[in-house]
Each structure stands twice: as C-alpha cells, then as structure tokens.
Structure 1
C-alpha cells in the first residue's frame, strides 16, 4: 500500500504544521509524532530492548501524547535544563572545567599535531561524562572507551554499556548525598523506573544522554574552530573579541602563574561575532529532519489537503539554505548575517527543532559549544598539520551520521597546536 509523503521547506507552512502539532484540543489535533525515530536511535543505536521501545513509544502517535514516557521525559529535561536552571549552570561549569584542565596540560608541553575532530570529541566527551555521571564514570576511568560512543563502532557498544551497568550498580548502594552523578540523571532514572524500565534499560537511557549530547556538540564545536581557522580575517576579529572578554590575572608584580577568568556571560556580551559563527555553523551543518504523521484529513494553511496517514517531513538542511529566506548567498559561510538581522529567531532557522520537538538541552549545548571553541581558540596558535601545511587551512568535506544531527568531517583535519607563550602554565577558572 502506497503512502503519501509531504516534504515541507517553506517556513510559513512549517509554522502552521507546528501550531497544529501543538493544538491543545486533542480531539481536533490532526498531526502527531512518529515512532520511527525513537526506534532508530534508542533501539538500533543504543540497544534498548523491544519491550522498552514499546514503553517509550506508547501513546506517541496518539491523542494522549501528553501522558507518555516521551513527553514526560521532554518536560523533565526542559525544566531541568532551562537557561537559568541550577542543573544547566552546574553541568556547563563541570564540562568546561574538565576541558580547561585538558588544555592546561597541553599548554605546559611542546606543540602537538592532532586530528582536530578526534581531539574535540575526546575532550567534550570527557567533560560531558564527568558533568552528567561524576568523576568516577567509566569514560573518565578508561578514555579508550570514547570511540565506542560513535556510530561506526556500535558493535563494541556493549563493552561500554557493561561498564556503565557496573558503575550504576555501585552507585545504587550509596546514600543519595554520596552519589556523584548529576541531578538530571537521577531524575531521569527515577522517571524511567516509574515507567517500568528494568536495570538494563535505565543504564542504556543514562548512557544515551551522553551519547546524544556529544554526537552533536562535538562536531558543532569542531566546525566552529575549523571554519574560523580557514578564514584568517574572521579568526583575527574573533581573537580581538576574546582578548576583551577573557580576563588574564597575574600577581601585583606581573609574575607568578597567570589565571584566566572565563565567564560565558561575558563571552556572549563581548563576542558577538563568535556567537554569530555558532549560529552560522548550525545553519549550514545541522541535518535534523522532523517527521510527523497526519491523523485525519487536514487542510494546511487553507491551501494544501493532507490526507489521513500521510507522512510529513521537514528537513532543516533545505530550510537553512533557502535563498528566499537567506538571500542569494544562502549556501555561503557568512557569520555576519546573524549580526545584520534577527533571522536566528525566525521560522527559517530551526537547528534545535521547534514545538514538541525542540531540543530541551539547547541552552546547555550553546554554552558548552561556544565555551569550548572560545577556550581552544584563545589558548593556541594553530597551523595546518597535514598535507596542506604551508598553504593555509582548507575545510574538509562533510557527511552526516546515523546518530548526529550535525554533520561530521569525512577526513582527518590535522592541526598543529602551539601553546601561546604568554599563557604557558596558565590556570583556567570557569565561573
């Protein structure tokens, strides 16, 4: 039996779809969520059992979406990871503190030539794992397990799951005050248990959070650093912003160990071009597609008849390069466009989704991505470390993955990290 498929790229029509998806009149609502993406991520990639997937998708396609595991999880995370929530601030600080420590170690040594993508993934994963699961988590103890988070080595995923199962079993025997993992993880584990998740399922759910966060934040951070390095005038302008936003402290005699004060609020205030670069990277490098189902015949915007059981797909990639919304240079990397307008607030820009599908961790992700890129760019003089050495940086080609909604590089991007002399031995303080 054939099924209608409607691919919607027009921002106004997408807004109409989202409004209908959020219709408070449950009986009148004509558009609902699909279950396929839950199976794809949590089943195929995280390894949740068939029974757990059934719990996660119960009511997902129905009018009673408001009372199901998916919606309850989304509400819990949206509240716990709000822009001013204590959990968001603490998770950000814990993540950046770990990344800063990694950079402090590097600035004490000799120049290193590294694959930027692999290195960024490593430090962000280490920071995220500590922030969410505490310093004793399996990834911190065994960093060699980090590649097992990636889609190309999912056959080895069970090794990491086994380590997490042991970790949470040990934590379960501790008093709540002694447990090291974050408040948001505790709340998610409690919610999962209420819905009937067994020990294996709650372990995979907690693991999925770190996997989901890093699969997007790591490549986004990589692309910010890479595209800045590939554009020397942009690099110079952003460095001027950072030097004005990051406070370098020494003792009264100008000696001693330098201390760098990093405040994300100051970065957002004094580094508009860096923030614009963040938005431009999300515009060009995110590939998320919202997938919905039509529950009954529905006239969209009074013009287009969508038949019952039809599928709706709304791809960000097409929306984000639409000349009607972004101009003739829509396919070009030009961060200044976000300084010139408020397009990042419009229906034409949806890197984090919208409505019921909006990413609850977007505020944390923004601070972590911008913060990591800022610290890395500020700490090192970077030069090409691969075949293009002496000829400047050239951006690698990109391709999407099964896990991430942010594309990843298709080849190694070698960078020579040379610590800035004036920052040798400097200690970072993330506030």
Structure 2
C-alpha cells in the first residue's frame, strides 16, 4: 500500500486538519500545474516517486508525520534520497556517514535561515520582526544579526558553569518539593504522564522565568501550553491555522497575551540570566514588546516539551523492568546518595549521578534513542556536492532523519528495535550489538548516529540542563518510590505516538499507576546537591 494515499493515522486517528490542508494544496496544484515541472539532475540522490504527482509526499507527511520517513526507508533503504514536492524537493539523509558530511557543509546548508523562515507559522512574527531575523542570519555574514547573537549567548550561558548551576538548583528544588509531598501516608493512583507534564511545567518555568512566570500568575495556562504543543506541527505551515489547529491556535493566543504582559511588567528582571539576556538581545535588535512576547512562547516550548516527555519515558523504562530498577537503585545508593540527619534526609549528588552511575546514564541515552525522533534540518542555500557523490540543489530542504538512523540494525546491531539498557554503558556513542556474544562491545557506533540533541554546529544548547532535570527526577523516583500498575503488577510502557518530527514522542495513551513510598523511606525527605561536593 502506498503510504501517501491512505487516510488513517496509527491508532485509528484521522487527520481532519490534514485533509483540509490537502484540499487546499490540491486546488493550488491544479490551478498552477504548468509551473510544477520538476526535472531532477542525475547527480541528485535517488528519487522516490509518489503515486500522486506533485503532492503525494506532502499527503504522506500530513497523514503520517515522522512515521512517513520510516515507511519510505523500509521500502527503499537508500542512504539519502530525494522526495519531489510541488516544483522543488526535500532530501532525506538516513546514513550517519552522510549526516556527518551534511553537518560539515555549514557554509551552504543553513539551519539559521530555516529557523527564520519557520517563525511566521510557528509564532506569527510580523513583517518587521522577520526583517530583523533574516538580516545577517549567519555568523560568517559581514554584519551578523539576531539569530547568530542569540545562538552564541545560549551556548555560553547554558554551558556548564555558574548560570547553569543556578537554574539547575532552582529546578531541582522544585522537583524535591513535589516529590516530598507525594504519597505521604498512603499510596496514590495517578496519570503518570500528566503528573510529570504538570510538574515540569511549573518547575522549569519557575527556574527559567522567575517567580512571576506565566504559569505562576495564571496556572490555567499550563493546560493551554500543552494544547499548543499537541497542534504545533499543524500550525507551522501557517495555512488557515484557526481552522486546521483550532485548539492550539487559541491556546497560543492566550500564551502570547501572558508573555506580552510579562514583558510589559518587566518580570524578566527577576528571571534567570538566559531569559534576561534573551529579552535584551531581542530588544537591541529591534523587536517590539508584542514580538518579544511571541518569541518567548517558542523558547518555553523548546525548553519544556522534550525534557518532559523524555522524563516520562525514562521513568517508564526503569519501573517497567524490576531487575533493572533493582540495579539502578544499588548503583545510586553506592555512588550518588548522601545520608544526612540520621537518615531522615537523603541527598542526591548530581555530579555523581552523571559521572559515577553508568547504568543510569546508559538507560537515559537508550531512552532518548528509542523516543527522540527529532529531525535535523538545513536549507540548501547554494548547489552543494556532498561526499563527492550527491548534488543538493539550492532552495531545497535537507533533513537528517533521526527516527530512521536510531532504529537501523546496520548502525546499532541486531537488537536495534529493542530497548537495551546497557547499549551506552560507559560509552556516549553506544556499543554495536553483535549476534556473536564474544564480539559484544567490540565495535563503537558512529557518534553522529545518536541524534537526540541534533549535532554539529546546532547541537542543542540546553542539553546539559535537560540532563540535570531528567536524571534528577528519575533517580529520586527510583530511590523513594515503588511505582506499579494499578493492579500491582509491573508498570506497563505505553505505545509511542511516532508521528512527530519536532519533539520526543508522546505516549499513545494515558498510563495510570499506583505510587507508594518504599519500605524504610516513608519518612525520608529527598534533596539535591546540584553542584556536587568540592573537588
């Protein structure tokens, strides 16, 4: 069956908004067919034809999202290929070796320009704001503009050091407050994803945006934020958003209004260094108050969504495997747990969690490999030869498809489709799993193959903060609580949505769990040392 001609999403869901968008695209295509001639150069990557000319691949992406790329890969198995779309094309990269080549060709493959072009659909930047953003998009330009300035600031402030320590300490203090009030006296039944989602929303917003953050001032905006997240992909094209993604569209309006008021009240002066710097840089480059507010919506989205969903999956992967849970508890107890006040206070040493708990870190990275299907995209600004073999034409988009690379047995070994808690044991790149047990661990995976934080010059600047949040919560949950299915059995791991291309997968269904204090931990207070003891 051609995936570009089927109308049902995994789980039986239909893409109503996508069908409407398809109808609009079809009208445009029929009205302008004579302009849609696409003639591939023989040096371009292999062309994957669509059954419906011009729009077949667009239909597939609307209906299947990120799964569409995996469906194509299962059929063709090319290291790189061309998808004709209207009168242009998209290039998909599924080889780590070619991904490395793409990352090195930064002079003609621009991430920053692509970011700029996405802003009108994502956060409705007006014409003046777009002029600001598209002026001097590259660091190598004669007069680098807003995007390079913001890039450099984020990499500086969110690197290990004073400012990262400050927000880490705040977010972990927030986590501890939630955890120390949980299941006191008796067990609780709860929707684990929703609990994780709401806790992260409150704690991360407080750490980044200060005590007058929008969720503190208007708690109902937490729900609006996640309504926006659910429809973000449909908003990005900017085509009739109030019809195609109505709930997300109006949720975004509420968030705009709250952030505009946040800027007007100068509440950012009580925020973290990264937010103070963001507002200052945006304003210096000419963004007005309204556009400053719009910009913070997308920054909050980038700060919250992946970390929240990664935490949920990490907790699920640990508690669904009783033997693994037992090993992780022993590792943390031996290397990262400090006992104070005769055992009534237990402190998690975050430095030791990162550096001395290789099993926990391996499970964290394997969780990201299995769920972080975040594509890395570039705009081709000039005709470019990659690996002296493939021609990428100007004004096309190239995507490094992490979901395909993360699940490729040729990259990871015969168990690539399975969760292997020791795949990254003492290895940030990962160990190739050979069928011959005598050869296990003898081959390292290409480091470029791990795409959870993108790569190259656009490696996620927030990855250090995300690791603090995610490992800190999972370790505390493992040490303090027993989490089971409501019937008392091992916690189930839900199915993955798999349709996204912008963020870590969401769970397909709600998972209700029973949570209770571990025996001997009923009266323990958990705390964190965000910096680790002095050397």
Bin the TM-score by the shorter chain.
Answer: 0.7 to 0.9
Question: In the alignment, which residue of structure 1 is the partner of 2:256?
Answer: 161
Write the distance in 1 (CA, Å) between the matches of 2:143 and 2:188.
51
Pick from 118, 123, 128 the counterpart of residue 204 of structure 2. 128
Write the distance in 2 (CA, Å) between the matches of 1:381 and 1:129.
28
Question: In the alignment, which residue of structure 2 is the partner of 1:373?
Answer: 474
Write the distance in 1 (CA, Å) between the matches of 2:204 and 2:358.
25
| Pairwise CA distance, 1:71 | 1.8
Question: In the alignment, which residue of structure 2 is the partner of 1:363?
Answer: 464
CA contact (8 A) 2:125 2:294 kept: yes
Question: In the alignment, which residue of structure 2 is the partner of 1:249?
Answer: 340
Identify the range of structure 1 (407-416 vs 374-383) with the bigger mean alpha-carbon deviation. Answer: 374-383
RMSD across aligned C-alpha pairs, in angstroms? Answer: 2.4
Question: In the alignment, which residue of structure 1 is the partner of 2:273?
Answer: 183
Deviations 1:388-429 (A, max 9, x none): x24433211111476851111011011111123433343333
| Pairwise CA distance, 1:209 | 2.3
1:145 aligns with 2:230: no
CA contact (8 A) 2:362 2:426 kept: no
Write the distance in 1 (CA, Å) between the matches of 2:214 and 2:320.
36
Question: In the alignment, which residue of structure 1 is the partner of 2:370?
Answer: 284
Going from structure 1 to structure 2, the CA distance change for 1:66 and 1:249 (only over 3 Å counts) comes to farther
CA contact (8 A) 2:191 2:512 kept: yes
CA contact (8 A) 1:383 1:393 kept: yes
Pick from 119, 124, 134 the counterpart of residue 57 of structure 1. 134
Size of the aligned set, in residue pairs, is 409
1:228 aligns with 2:318: yes
| Pairwise CA distance, 1:231 | 1.5
SS in 1 for 2:282: helix
SS in 2 for 1:299: strand
Largest Rg, 1 or 2: 2
| Pairwise CA distance, 1:263 | 1.6
Pick from 200, 211, 222 the counterpart of residue 301 of structure 2. 211
CA contact (8 A) 1:399 1:410 kept: yes
1:311 aligns with 2:311: no
1:417 aligns with 2:494: no
Question: In the alignment, which residue of structure 1 is the partner of 2:102?
Answer: 17
Write the distance in 2 (CA, Å) between the matches of 1:203 and 1:280.
36
Write the distance in 2 (CA, Å) between the matches of 1:181 and 1:230.
38
Question: In the alignment, which residue of structure 2 is the partner of 1:267?
Answer: 353
| Pairwise CA distance, 1:294 | 2.7
Going from structure 1 to structure 2, the CA distance change for 1:36 and 1:341 (only over 3 Å counts) comes to closer
Q: Report the TM-score when normalising by structure 2.
A: 0.71
**Higher RCO, 1 or 2 (CA under 8 Å, sep at least 6)?**
1
| Pairwise CA distance, 1:225 | 0.4
| Pairwise CA distance, 1:206 | 2.8
Going from structure 1 to structure 2, the CA distance change for 1:63 and 1:286 (only over 3 Å counts) comes to same
Going from structure 1 to structure 2, the CA distance change for 1:234 and 1:301 (only over 3 Å counts) comes to same
* Structure 2: runs of 5 or more not aligned: 1-35, 37-86, 231-246, 431-445, 530-535
1:351 aligns with 2:351: no
Question: In the alignment, which residue of structure 2 is the partner of 1:24?
Answer: none
* Structure 1: runs of 5 or more not aligned: 22-28
Question: In the alignment, which residue of structure 1 is the partner of 2:58?
Answer: none
Deviations 1:135-169 (A, max 9, x none): 23231244332121122342223223323333333
Identify the range of structure 1 (405-414 vs 44-53) with the bigger mean alpha-carbon deviation. Answer: 44-53
CA contact (8 A) 1:115 1:414 kept: yes
SS in 2 for 1:398: coil
SS in 1 for 2:347: strand
